Amino acid sequence: MTRPLAYVCVANHENNKIKARCRALYELGYLPVCPSLMFNRFLEITSAEEREDARSMSKEILRRCRLLVTFGEINDEMAREILFARRIGVITTSYGGLSKVSKAVSEGAAAEE
């Protein structure tokens, strides 16, 4: 099964919360891609140079994704990612919106059977 790539856009960088959010996307049938989870393992985000490298690499990843999914309140960094996604034609949605649509589609498919 081919899963569409879903870019995980989060404000809170607590690993356990991010893992749970990625799991939720996985359960909806997406392949979650979370630069925050990946890059915080080897980059020092407190360094201006490495923070800019993280932004640049995140954009490269986002270009390959089908959609961007937000979790929680949107901060300035998330707003930048959302604007970039929209500019390059990547679908943007919240997890709440995505889960409602997925549930409606599943229920509709079950009703047709």
Q: Tens digit of pLDDT for each residue in 32-45?
A: 999 988 887 888 87
Q: What share of the chain is helix, strand, coil (3-state, %, to 5)?
A: 60, 15, 25
Residue 106 domain boundaries? 7-112
Q: Where are the alpha helices (DSSP H) in 1-91?
A: 15-27, 35-39, 48-64, 76-87
**Does the pTM of the predicted model rise above 0.75?**
yes
User: Does 19 fall in a domain?
Assistant: yes
User: Does 36 fall in a domain?
Assistant: yes
User: Does 52 fall in a domain?
Assistant: yes
pLDDT band at 16 (very low <50, low <70, confident <90, very high): confident
**How many structural domains compose the chain?**
1
User: Does 76 fall in a domain?
Assistant: yes
pLDDT band at 93 (very low <50, low <70, confident <90, very high): very high
User: Does 1 fall in a domain?
Assistant: no
Could you tell me the two tokens for 2? 């081919």
User: Does 2 fall in a domain?
Assistant: no
